[in-house]
Amino acid sequence: MSGLVHLTRDGDIGIITINNPPVNALSIGVPEGMAAAIQTCCKDPSVKAMILIGGGTTFIAGADIKEFEKITSGEKPIGNALFQLFPLLENCSKPIIAAIHGTALGGGLETAMCCHYRVAAASARVGQPEVKLGLIPGAGGTQRLPRLIGLAKAAEICAGGELVSAAEAARIGILDQLIDGDLLQGAIAFARQVIAKGGVPCKTSDRPIPPYDPQAMSAVKHAVAKRSRGLLAPQKAIEAVEAASLPFEEGLQREAELFAECLFSEQSKALIHVFFGEREVSKIPGIGQEVSKLPIRVAAVVGAGTMGGGIAMSYANAGIPVLLKETGQEALERGLANLRKNYAATVQKGRMTQAEMEQRWELIQPTLNYDRFTEADIVVEAVFEGMELKKQVFAELEKVTRPDAILASNTSTLDIDAIATATSRPQQVIGHHFFSPANVMRLLEIVRGKETSPQVIATSMALAKTLKKVGVLVGNCHGFVGNRMFGPYQREAQFLVEEGASVQEVDAALVDFGMALGPFSVADLAGLDVAWRIRHEVQHQVPQGTRQPLVLDTLYERGRYGQKTGAGWYRYPDGSRMAIPDPDVQQWIEEKSHQSGIVRRDISKEEIVERVLYPLINEGAKILAEGIAARAVDIDMIYLYGYGFPAYRGGPMWYADTVGLHRVYERICQFEQQHGAEWSPAPLLKKLAESGKKFSDLDRDRSINRD
């Protein structure tokens, strides 16, 4: 028996405990240990029933995801010990009760469904979240779950990937009983009841499927298609669930075929890359766990505008009291009104109770002065994007905060070191670039200055987790990583409309690729006035003769700042967020093109995608070479969580690897010949392409060298 699985007794009941911390994953040794324990109990006539329970804080949180990578690389076959364990579990002549606390996810729920009965603590959650990795349940989940709860509900759970509370799981039939008090003692009591009734196992696979509801299934399919644009796994999950109407063994075979189709897809490989990438970015080269972190008990935010208000909400939502400062009462009231509106909308959508809203609202303390800023462990500056204004604020913060307070700027592009010169403690200064809306978007781009202390960096990374953000550490340059890459992305989108594409054609091509929004919709959402200010902040650095977009200035001069003014690249009538194509914009584009001697032409969707995305990749390669980003995966996480890049494509650098760096490099060279020096290929991209390597190889090499 594996040391990961322990067998004990309570009279005539065998207790099989999984101890594979931290989440009791079904990694090598766990299924084997469970099988050995079951066989031992089966051979012992004094054992009348068994309980399967997880040690620590959870039941089984799923399979070991690294095993999937080994399968797709050819390192091991697709079959594993689970396929021997599950028939042993289900066909055992003695009843086996799964006792669930924490979570039973993926293979964990599949294990529980192979048991004859399932009980759980009231706080437990269950689910089949495999679709979030581009997979479907592959060990009978799509066949057993419909036999417990019906086809439509099983399709909803398998295709949606969302977790189900214990109360709901008991209501719909996944669980047989909820346990109050001690889970193990409750499970033992349940087992004795089963024994008293004859101790007959109840096999899930023998159950008939509940009556089919075609309307409910149609509703599930419609909902999944709407929210899973471009994704393979949710559709395959529904196919697999529908195969449960076949004889059980045939359904298992169909599930296995669909699982393999998903596992070897580029989408699954990308989503597994994202899963590990989110964890990888928290590891900072040169800053280990031994670096102490400052306590963040009280925060302060300077500026109650859209960004400042969203940042304040992020702190309040994490349970951290936050001072919110504005310079005038009118601006402060306007900011607070927006916060109330945002919270009210969250309550209306059922994502928060009224009591929770009131609790969080009380944590936000509005102020017109710095009187209480000595209480703050961190201050986030969120004023307009202008260097002189930010320096002024930091000079004021120097006087009103404690020497150990972290001074963070929410700047999206400006030089953190220049901002730090306004203080006498640059070691406490760091960039905390939130993304709008700050209370929703998961990315926090953390910008280290040349003198930022390791303690401030470590505290910032830990704080990101507290705020439920994905913190990514980057170096200091104009635009850092995200916006530095976003500049060429937006530039080429504007050049494409000057050369013949329409605004909506460019947006549609990128949305079809999988982006959450097209570049022009994003610009309207962020504010064209912001883009105009950023561009003019660095205009003096642009070499003479460099091609510049022609229409942005026209829109700015006409007061068309995007959604906030009801018009930008699109129109937004009556305050709507629905973008309406504007013939006036098309006319201005064509006039500017004609005045500049640009001959307009038809542009294919393929060229649009390459022209807009390949600059991201090229700029990303430059950023890697300069050390602004430590790893290609850092860039991927920034674009996934901050810019709406489709997760199933893995991020821009992972996507480049899937296209092939040689192909990307060749096209960039062609675009350089056609469009000039702005397309000059990054030396690192050239080097990797010519050596047949990938960005992922670069990350692996750097990790090995660092270790």
Cβ burial of 308 (10 Å; 0-12, 13-18, 19+) is buried
Of the candidates 168, 189, 167, 193, the residue with the CA atom closest to the CA atom of residue 178 = 167
Structure tokens at 652: 């821009």
Residue 462 tokens read as 């830990």
- pTM, two decimals, is 0.92
In tens, the pLDDT along 32-78 reads: 999 999 999 999 999 999 999 999 999 999 888 887 877 777 666 66
Asked if the structure places residue 280 within a domain, the reply is: no
Can you tell me which residue has the tokens 């529980």?
Answer: 112
pLDDT of amino acid 589: 96
* 45 and 179 inside one domain: yes
Distance CA 296, CA 377 (A): 5
pLDDT confidence of residue 436: 86
pLDDT at 74: 66
- CATH number of the domain encompassing residue 534: 1.10.1040.50
In a domain, 271, yes or no: no
Q: Which parts of the chain register pLDDT below 50? A: none
User: In the prediction, which pLDDT does 71 show?
Assistant: 76
pLDDT at position 106: 95
Residue 287 lies in a domain: no
Residues 505 and 424 in one domain: no
Contact 523, 531 (CB under 8 A): yes
Rounded Cα–Cα distance for residues 314 and 310 (Å) = 6
436/116 Cα distance (integer angstroms): 48
**Domain enclosing residue 453, as ranges:** 299-479
- The CATH number of the domain where 260 resides is what? 3.90.226.10
Same domain, 408 and 508: no
Q: Which of 264, 288, 313 is the last residue of a domain?
A: 264
Q: Is residue 665 part of a domain?
A: yes
Please give the tally of structural domains in the chain: 3
Residue 105's Cβ-count burial label (10 Å; 0-12, 13-18, 19+) is: buried
Q: Same domain, yes or no, for 520 and 436? A: no
The pLDDT assigned to 72 comes to 75
The tens digit of pLDDT for each residue in 358-382 reads 999 999 999 999 999 999 999 999 9
Would you state the pLDDT for residue 289?
78
Say if strands 470-474 and 5-10 run parallel, antiparallel, or are unpaired: unpaired
Residues annotated as catalytic (active site), given as ranges:
110, 130
